[in-house]
Structure 1
Amino acid sequence: MSHAVMTIAQLNTFLARDFPQVFTPDSAFSIVSVGYRESVMRCRFDQRHLRPGGTISGPTMMTLADVGLYIAILASIGPVAMAVTTNLNINFLSKPAPRDLIARTKLLRLGRRLAVGEVSIYSDGEEEDMVAHVTGTYAIPQERAGA
């Protein structure tokens, strides 16, 4: 397989149904694009994401990365609500500007039971300077879609 199995519309429908506490019409997180083993996410800037010093908080960037990994996995294998994060490692590289964040995710490995990926996070409009680099691992349940 070398193409996405879920569209952005299908992902949005699934996420709104299975994760309504996070994925609402006014959610800060939105899917920009998906492909096989990849996704691009946007986190809309909000004053609530700032920490003292005027920078976007680490938890906001971690959530964006985690969601980006999840979306890349779902786009590649189908709707699997119980795929879960088993590891997330983040390196904060520079202070993000107080604007939208863009997360580019690539899955390095997509196996039957584990997916490993990396996420590059940038301030919107400044995509030559990464603000955070993330690696993460997801456990994929055996009874997944299409298996």
Structure 2
Amino acid sequence: MPTPATPVMSAPEVSAYLDEVFPQIKANGDDISVRAVSPGTALVRLHADDKHLRPGGTVSGPTMFMLSDLAAYAVILAHIGRVALAVTTNLNINFLMKPQPGPLDATAMILKLGKRLVVTDISIRDSSGELVAHATATYSIPPRN
């Protein structure tokens, strides 16, 4: 197994950078946060409330998709630095359970960090630790000038 990448940004630094370049993620409130960064991983928490629910009272698929994508972006930024134009090229998600409102933790792990592409694995767990969704995401990194 490859050695995990070393982060170049801390969780507070990633959060501050996201506030700077991607303020829309907090347009509906301060319900999402980068909680931790460690070698090869990042943890992003969403406090899912009424605005994140689908009919039937469970957290919506688009909400979990957004959380997966943001967790992938956070782990990538933490490891490559301030590269706002890193973009999603693919994201595949499997919804495993219907989570109820409350905290959802997305743990993103770098599987491969290349010069132009980064492949990540994301697990979303509810407050009981139950796996509710699993995703893989690939991001394109723009060439450095």
Query: What is the TM-score with the length of structure 1 in the denominator?
Result: 0.90
Matching residue within 75, 78, 82 for 2:81: 78
Where does structure 2 lack aligned partners over 5 or more consecutive residues?
none
Shift of residue 121 of structure 1?
0.5
Give CA deviations for 1:39-78 in whole Å, capped at 9, x if unaligned: 0110012111010011100011001000000010011110
Residue 104 of structure 2 is matched in structure 1 by 101
Q: Percent identity?
A: 45
Question: TM-score scaled by structure 2?
Answer: 0.91
**Within 5 A, what are the aligned runs for 1:47-126?**
47-124=50-127, 126=128
How big is the shift at 1:24? Answer: 6.2
Given that residues 35 and 76 in structure 1 are in contact (C-alpha distance below 8 angstroms), is that contact kept between their aligned partners in structure 2?
no
Partner AA of 1:54 in structure 2: G
Change (3 A) 1:25 1:34: farther
The answer (yes or no) to whether the contact 1:112–1:140 under 8 Å persists in 2 is: yes
> Equivalent residue for 1:134?
135
Deviation at 1:3, TM superposition (A): 2.3
Q: Quick check: 2:12–2:34 contact (8 Å CA) kept in 1?
A: no
**What is the CA–CA distance in structure 1 between the aligned matches of 2:59 and 2:27, rounded to whole Å?**
21
Is residue 58–residue 99 contact of structure 2 (8 Å, CA) maintained in 1? yes
Q: How many angstroms apart in 2 are the aligned matches of 1:51 and 1:64?
A: 15
Give, in angstroms, the shift of residue 37 of structure 1: 2.0
Conserved in 2, the CA contact under 8 Å of 1:36 and 1:75? no
The alignment partner of 1:131 has SS state of strand
Q: Which structure 2 residues correspond to residues 28-47 of structure 1 after superposition, within 5 A?
A: 28-47=31-50
Aligned letter for 1:139? S
AA in 1 matched with 2:64: M
Q: How does 1:20-31 map to 2 (within 5 A)?
A: 20-23=23-26, 26-31=29-34
| Matched-pair contact (CA < 8 Å) for 2:31–2:47 | yes
